Amino acid sequence: MSFQVTGLGLDKMKLDSPQSFLDQEEVEEAEDRQLLEPEAWRTYTARRNALREFLTCDLSAHLLKRHHARMELLRKCSYHIEILPKHLALGDQNPLVLPSTMFQLIDPWKFQRMKKVGTAQTKIQLLLLGDLLEQLDRGRAQLDALLESPDPRPFLAGWALVEQRLADLAAVMDNFLAMMVPGRLHIKHRLVSDVGATKIPHIRLMLSTKMPVMFDRKESVAHQDWVALRWFVTIQPAVPEQFELRFKLLDPRTQQEYLQRGIIPVAACTFNVHNLLPNRVYKFTVKRAESYTLVYEPWRDSLTLQTRRGLPEGPRPRRLGKPGCP
């Protein structure tokens, strides 16, 4: 392969070599060198490498993909108010550590009002996280386009703005990661009414996240007139949970078929639904049972299964005569 650099023009290159694409980059680098003095070129190279390192390590496409996956998971979680003594960390609570007398001191009306506040704060928190993630996506796209710019002179001239952009994106990433930390969602309010001489307990009011309940699509199977369902939670809770399973027949054809639906409380992660119609499609949904502390649950998993066909009816057997009769 041979080429010459003459001013800003290039002679034609032969593209029959496996190194043609690599040589093309060398040609472009040679062109860039023609636009800058040696010292400016060294500065340009150092700054370009710094930008590439930021996009590779601090704001990589793989890292953003992981954050998008975590964000999608948060949108499927359920959010609950946790009432904790101040000396406990979130997740350490249990009925023995948190006496029932504490709930007896809490004003029910004020607690319901704080649940509404918790719902609003959770929605705002999720919106803010989504907005910060969009800022990171846009920032990476802009910096990546700048890195691919063929002319180094605007890159050098606007480096101060690039540095500011890098600092801004680093701050956005820090804010995003801080909001993702469990326990960062918290609200405070005086929930205990005036109890006279009774000593008011020192409590914290926080929002906690519970992982979504999801069907096991490999283990959930349909049979002729019943289905076996299985679901799971990514992080198993310390105490057993109650679930609510719903099912309904899709496209019922008669009033009787319209009754093929129901709501079933379940205290396990498996359940068999019987007395279904063969060769019909049913929709199933599962979620945690409604609890006193729930403030926001925007999503529930659903699964559609079709029962198997019934056995075909064969010809009715002939009645055999008694022995000795024709």
Q: Which residues pair with 49 in a beta bridge?
A: none
Spatial distance between the Cα atoms of 220 and 226, rounded to a whole number of angstroms? 11
Instruction: Lay out the sheet containing 203-210: strands in order across.
Output: 203-210, 78-85, 294-296
Domains of the chain with bracketed CATH: 38-78+99-179 (no CATH), 212-307 (2.60.40.10)
Please state, in angstroms and as integers, the Cα–Cα distance from residue 76 to each residue in 97, 166, 215, 242, 285, following that order: 29, 32, 13, 18, 14
Q: Which two tokens stand for residue 180?
A: 């993702």
What is the structure's pLDDT at 149?
82
pLDDT confidence of 76, banded at 50, 70, 90?
very high
- CA 120 – CA 207 distance, rounded (Å): 12
- Per-residue pLDDT tens over the stretch 233-271: 988 777 889 999 999 999 999 999 999 999 999 999 999
**pLDDT of amino acid 213:** 96
Q: Are 203 and 85 in contact (CB under 8 A)?
A: yes
CB 147 within 8 A of CB 51: yes
> What pLDDT digit, counting tens, does each position of 104-130 carry?
777 788 888 888 888 988 999 999 999
Q: How far apart are the first and last CA of the chain?
A: 103
- Residue with the bigger pLDDT between 199 and 245: it is 245
Q: What are the structure tokens assigned to 59, written together? A: 């704001």
Neighbouring CB atoms inside 10 A of 286's CB total 25
Residue 8's pLDDT is what?
Answer: 33
Other CB atoms within a 10 A radius of the CB of residue 126 amount to 19
326 vs 103, higher pLDDT: 103
CA distance 166 to 142: 11
SS3 159: helix
Q: pLDDT at residue 18 above 50?
A: no
- pLDDT at position 10: 33
Structure tokens at 214: 């999801």
pLDDT band at 25 (very low <50, low <70, confident <90, very high): low
- Residues 232, 268 contacting (CB under 8 angstroms): no
Q: How many CA atoms lie within 13 A of 189 on its CB side?
A: 22
Torsion of CA 110, 115, 121, 126, to 10 degrees: 170
Strands 243-249 and 261-266 turn out to be antiparallel
Q: Amino acid identity of 159?
A: W
Write out the two tokens for 69.
Answer: 């996956």
Q: For residue 53, give both structure tokens.
A: 């390192």
Q: How many other C-beta atoms lie within 10 A of the C-beta of residue 203?
A: 19
Joined tokens for residue 141: 């796209």
Let me know if 10 is exposed, middle or buried by CB neighbors in 10 A (0-12, 13-18, 19+).
Answer: middle
146 has a pLDDT exceeding 70:
yes
Q: Which two tokens stand for residue 160?
A: 């101060």
Residue in the block written with tokens 């801080």:
178
Q: Which amino acid is at 280?
A: R
Mean pLDDT of 163-187: 83
Q: Residues of 53-71 as b/e, b for ≥16 C-beta within 10 angstroms?
A: ebbeeebeeeebeebeeeb
Joined tokens for residue 128: 């803010």
* pLDDT, tens digit, 9 for 90 and up, residues 33-46: 555 678 888 888 89
User: Does residue 288 surpass a pLDDT of 50?
Assistant: yes
> Please, which pLDDT band fits residue 15 given cuts at 50, 70 and 90?
very low
